[in-house]
Amino acid sequence: MKNQRISSELISENNEAALKHLQEDYDHLSTVLSRQNIDIEAVTTQAQAFEIAVPSWGVGTGGTRFARFPGIGEPRNVFEKLEDCAVINQLSQCTGSVSPHFPWDKVDDFTELKAFSDSYGLQWDSINSNTFQDQADQALSYKYGSLTNTDAATREQAIAHNLECIEWGKQLGSNRLTVWVGDGSNHPGQQHFQHSFERYLDSMKTIYSAIPDDWELHIEHKMFEPAFYSTVVQDWGSNILAAMELGDKAKSLVDLGHHAPNVNIEMIVSRLIQFKKLGGFHFNDSKYGDDDLDSGSIHPYQQFLIFNELVDAEARGQEGFNPSYMLDQSHNVTDPIESLINSAIEVQRSYIKALIVDRAALSDCQERNDALMASNTLKQAFNLDVSPILAMARYRQGGAINPLQTYRQSQYRAQVAEVRPSVAGSGSGIV
Ligand code: PSV
Ligand code: MN
Ligand code: MN
């Protein structure tokens, strides 16, 4: 029997009150979809199977380099973060795994941590290493880089941290390591572009050699920040080159916020799929840069177009296609639990809309060069409100038809605030 953070009676009561209207909306949508020869039940089954991981650091209030305004009842350690992640999954039924960040989430006893996550039925997603900041007990500084540092001993230290992350991941039952480094430069001439990338590849080769055969090594690129002139792994080009150099277990990870504004991310996704190098995603949204805003809050059409590529690859049975999905957001003015529930559902929504695209019609338009009708074919799916499918998928799995309403009624935040005193520095600040 799984531990539950929200009373199942409350969820049932709220669901009973909402079910009549949901069923009416669902039946209507079923009729609409049947006109396109789509069986709503098949789509709902796929919605039920959809999973997106939650980042452990996402349940703490984020912040900017100017300030962090703590929320109430913030989790103070990885166990409390897991409690909040359990709430998100209980209500949304699509976030059954948690991605940890080390050493932020480091514990003395990983067996205890695994038992705790098991008690909530949560799995461990990709392990994130951290060599972008100095830790209190650290011998050598990453001020001038980690895996690419000009000093060999500093590179060794950064490699060793990634190796210990793999060991911790094994104990948690994870099967992936995600490496993001902020290494780069702030001044033209500060760093030799080729030599720094060579040092990166050398370091990553050592890490790659410790990746178990049934694991993947995900490389995350980011255009800028914290380095503001050049970043060593700055875009998908450097990323895929590194992944190709390392081997089959190395793949590229796409964080939506890590590109220049207006970059065609869905096309990058297509290229990575074609060359069997799409490892996974960090979903979030942005207006300017790596804003880490809630998924689907600014560019829902872009998110849908990305899923259009993913569903297309799935439908074609593209070889080597098995990307992992995760949120990577910073919540500065909202309750992180609410934002993460909302965001997970928004990503799920993009997936479902992409599933109902009429692919035969789209392909026909492409062959005939009918640009307008091709675009309209995508828009037809995007404009359809698939909320009843998402709500029904949650309901059938024991989640909440109206998750935010149920969460607020549960008074969860006020309850945890009683046992989690407010500490200005609590939670994980996001860099
Ligand atoms: C960097 O901006 C990033 O997106 C990486 O995924 C980090 O691991 C995460 O944010 C948390 O700082
Ligand atoms: Mn990220
Ligand atoms: Mn980021």
Q: 295: domain CATH number?
A: 3.20.20.150
What is the Cα–Cα distance from 78 to 57, expressed in whole angstroms? Answer: 9
Give per-10-residue mean pLDDT for the chain (431 aa): 94 98 98 98 98 97 89 96 98 98 97 98 98 96 98 98 98 98 98 98 99 98 98 98 98 98 97 98 97 98 99 97 98 97 99 98 98 98 98 98 98 96 55 37
Give the pLDDT score at 422: 77
| 430 CA: nearest ligand 1 atom | 12
Note residues around ion ligand 3 (Cβ under 5 angstroms): 290
Best mutation site among 255, 288, 327 for ligand 1 pocket (most ligand atoms within 8 Å of CB): 255
Give the pLDDT score at 424: 60
Query: Rounded to a whole number, what is the largest CA-CA distance in the chain?
Result: 66
Looking at the domain assignment, is residue 100 inside a domain? Answer: yes
Best mutation site among 98, 165, 220, 293 for ligand 1 pocket (most ligand atoms within 8 Å of CB): 220
| 290 CA: nearest ligand 1 atom | 2
Place of tokens 């539950």: 4
Give the pLDDT score at 282: 98
What is the Cα–Cα distance from 48 to 42, expressed in whole angstroms? Answer: 10
Could you give the angle at which helices 387-396 and 336-355 cross, rounded to 10 degrees?
Answer: 110
Best mutation site among 162, 232, 282, 286 for ligand 1 pocket (most ligand atoms within 8 Å of CB): 282
Q: By C-alpha distance, which of 113, 119, 61 is closest to 86?
A: 119
87 Cα: distance to centroid of ligand 1 (angstroms): 23
What is the Cα–Cα distance from 287 to 19, expressed in whole angstroms? Answer: 37
Looking at the domain assignment, is residue 322 inside a domain? Answer: yes
**Phi (first) and psi of residue 376, to 5 degrees:** -65, -30
Looking at the domain assignment, is residue 3 inside a domain? Answer: no
Looking at the domain assignment, is residue 400 inside a domain? Answer: yes
The pair of three-digit structure tokens given for residue 32, joined into one six-digit string: 């609409």
Give the pLDDT score at 376: 98
- For the chain, the first-to-last Cα distance in angstroms comes to 38
Three-class DSSP category at 4: coil
Q: By C-alpha distance, which of 346, 343, 350, 347 is closest to 329?
A: 343
Alpha-helical regions (H) of 279-318: 300-316
Q: Is the ipTM of this complex over 0.90?
A: yes
- Write the DSSP assignment of 14-39 as a string of letters: HHHHHHHHHHHHHHHHHHHHHTTT--
The pair of three-digit structure tokens given for residue 164, joined into one six-digit string: 């210990």
Around ligand 1, the residues with Cβ closer than 6 Å are 57, 128, 180, 220, 222, 255, 282, 290, 328, 430-431
Q: How many domains does the chain have?
A: 1
Give the pLDDT score at 286: 97
- Write the DSSP assignment of 39-88 as a string of letters: -HHHHHHHHHH---BEEGGGGS----SS-----TT---SHHHHHHHHHHH
Looking at the domain assignment, is residue 132 inside a domain? Answer: yes
Looking at the domain assignment, is residue 2 inside a domain? Answer: no
**Beta strands across the sheet bearing 123-124:** 54-55, 97-99, 123-124
Domain that holds residue 198: 8-419
Looking at the domain assignment, is residue 428 inside a domain? Answer: no
Q: Which residues pair with 281 in a beta bridge?
A: 254, 325
